[in-house]
């Protein structure tokens, strides 16, 4: 029999413009292969995570689905996101790609379906968005959104369809804070999901004095301070780890609060010239 002794952790729910709620903290699965995902997503669910972020690109939807079934947690208590890869944006490929993702996940619906990148050189993201809008009217998708969209891409979606996404999932961490797109989204009720919330480990957050000092002051780790900074700034996060103690640690961020001064010191860590970015540039990635 499934283990029902575990409980959902004390994670805030944020309202989306679709009318659905999203848990503000989840578990990310980029670079987690399918067999690993089966093990660590189950572990995350048993610890109290209820929100899982995957993508067709990650090649782990089968493992994610197996973990969900093994958890025994009722489907309606979970929030599952997947994403449309760039080579499936044209024609009715988005519809087919979603069905393939649902089949791999073993789910009837996803809570959130995202266009993974605008890939503007392909000229297909508005078509993909129209397809997602029509999928949003079916019972296979609850909310629709985008990822890695900059203001110019969001403005084009809005101009051509009149419909805004529920979320924009963008690279966002202390050294790359994307203030322009964040402000544009905040003014229009679009939630920000921060990918790479810890900078993907590509710079050492523990060596940054503002983060190190706040961690010492609260008896928390540097990762917990950075995740807490995201939460207090209103971002949705889903840090990735395949280390059991870190998976637990990343969930234990709801029992302390950073001061306004501590938040401001982390807000000040973006060099302001784009040099803090660790991933691809959405204008050229495809």
* Residues with a known catalytic role: 58
3-state secondary structure of 78: coil
- Draw the binding track, 36-75, toward ligand NAD (x: CB under 6 A; -: no contact): -----------------x----------------------
Q: Which is nearer to ligand NAD, 5 or 220 (CB)?
A: 220
**Binder among 65, 145, 197, 276 for ligand NAD (CB under 6 A):** 197
* Least distance from ligand NAD to the Cβ atom of residue 1, Å: 30
∠ CA 31-36-41, nearest 5°, is 95
Regarding 238 and contact with ligand NAD (CB under 6 A), the answer is yes
Our CB check for ligand NAD shows the closer of 125 and 195 to be: 195
Region of 62-70, 125-133, 192-200, 253-261 interacting with ligand NAD (CB under 6 A): 192-200
Q: Where does this chain touch ligand NAD (CB under 6 A) — which range of 87-95, 122-130, 159-167, 243-251? A: 243-251
Residue-level length of the chain:
286
Q: Minimum CB separation from ligand NAD for residue 148, in Å? A: 5
Distance between CA 57 and CA 233 in Å, rounded? 29
**Closest distance of CB 4 from ligand NAD, Å:** 26
Binding residues with ligand NAD: total (CB under 6 A): 23
For ligand NAD, which is the closer residue by CB, 38 or 53?
53
Between CA 255 and CA 253 the distance in angstroms is 6
Q: Least Å distance between CB 252 and ligand NAD?
A: 10
Please give the residues from 252 up to 281 whose contact with ligand NAD meets the rule CB under 6 A: none
- Rounded distance between C-alpha atoms, residue 172 and residue 200, angstroms: 10
| Interaction between residue 85 and ligand NAD (CB under 6 A) | no
Residue 138 CB neighbour total at 10 angstroms = 10
Whole-angstrom distance, CA of residue 68 vs CA of residue 2:
11
Q: Which residues of 13-42 are buried (b: 16+ CB within 10 A; e: fewer)?
A: eeebbbeeebbbbbbbbeebebeebbbbbb
Query: With contact defined as beta carbons under 8 Å apart, do 143 and 114 qualify?
Result: no
Q: Where are the beta strands (DSSP E) in 138-265?
A: 141-147, 167-171, 191-195, 236-237
- What is the contact mask toward ligand NAD in residues 109 to 148, using x (rule: CB under 6 A)? -------x------------------------------xx
CB closer to ligand NAD, 22 vs 260: 22
| Beta-strand runs (E) in the chain | 13-15, 21-23, 27-28, 51-53, 79-84, 110-115, 141-147, 167-171, 191-195, 236-237
| Comparison of 3 and 84: residue with beta carbon closer to ligand NAD | 84
| From 130, 175, 218, 246, residue interacting with ligand NAD (rule: CB under 6 A) | 246
Q: Is 223 in the site for ligand NAD (CB under 6 A)?
A: yes
Beta bridge partners of 237: 25, 194
* Interface positions with ligand NAD (CB under 6 A): 28-30, 53, 116, 147-148, 169, 195-201, 223, 238-241, 246, 249-250
């Amino acid at each position: 029999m499934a283990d029902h002794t575990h409980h959902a952790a004390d994670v805030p729910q944020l309202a989306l413009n679709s009318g659905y709620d999203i848990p503000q903290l989840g578990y990310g699965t980029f670079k987690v292969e399918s067999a690993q995902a089966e093990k660590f997503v189950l572990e995350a669910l048993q610890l109290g995570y209820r929100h899982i972020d995957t993508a067709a690109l990650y090649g782990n939807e089968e493992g994610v689905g197996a973990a969900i079934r093994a958890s025994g947690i009722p489907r309606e208590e979970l929030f599952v996101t997947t994403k449309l890869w760039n080579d499936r944006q044209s024609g009715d490929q988005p519809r087919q790609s979603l069905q393939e993702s649902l089949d791999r996940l073993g789910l009837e619906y996803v809570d959130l379906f995202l266009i993974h990148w605008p890939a503007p050189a392909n000229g297909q993201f508005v078509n993909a968005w129209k397809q997602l809008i029509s999928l949003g009217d079916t019972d296979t998708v609850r909310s629709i959104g985008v990822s890695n969209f900059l203001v110019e891409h969001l403005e084009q979606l809005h101009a051509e369809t009149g419909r805004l996404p529920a979320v924009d999932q963008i690279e966002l961490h202390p050294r790359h804070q994307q203030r322009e797109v964040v402000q544009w989204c905040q003014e229009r009720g679009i939630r920000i999901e921060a990918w790479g919330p810890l900078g993907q480990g590509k710079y050492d957050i523990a060596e940054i004095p503002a983060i190190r000092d706040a961690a010492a002051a609260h008896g928390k780790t540097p990762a917990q301070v950075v995740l807490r900074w995201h939460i207090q700034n209103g971002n949705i996060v889903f840090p990735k780890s395949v280390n059991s103690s870190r998976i637990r640690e990343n969930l234990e961020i709801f029992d302390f609060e950073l001061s306004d001064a501590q938040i401001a010191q982390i807000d000040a860590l973006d060099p302001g010239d784009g040099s803090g970015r660790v991933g691809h540039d959405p204008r050229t990635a495809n």
